Amino acid sequence: MCHRQVQCARHGCGHEEPIAEAKVDCQSSQCRYSAAHPRGCPTCPNTCAQWFVVR
């Protein structure tokens, strides 16, 4: 499943702050967020992954 990859900087106090992010494409035709997913998929809500995972 497609997901976001976030890089963080950790400060001396332990607080983490996002400094960069990137989308990682799973290349699956069954994932709504992938570039490989066909436009106009007629059964998308029933057959394709609908959530964008944050890791």
Q: Give the pLDDT score at 53.
A: 59
Q: Give the pLDDT score at 1.
A: 85
The predicted model scores a pTM of 0.65
Listing DSSP states for the chain in one string gives: --EEEEEEEEPTTS-EEEEEEEEE----TTBTTSTTSPTT-TTHHHHSB---EE-
Q: Give the pLDDT score at 49.
A: 85
Q: Give the pLDDT score at 9.
A: 97
The pLDDT profile of the chain, 55 residues, written as one tens digit per residue, is 888 899 999 999 999 999 999 999 999 999 999 999 999 999 988 889 887 655 5
Q: Give the pLDDT score at 52.
A: 62
Instruction: Write out the two tokens for 19.
Output: 């400094």
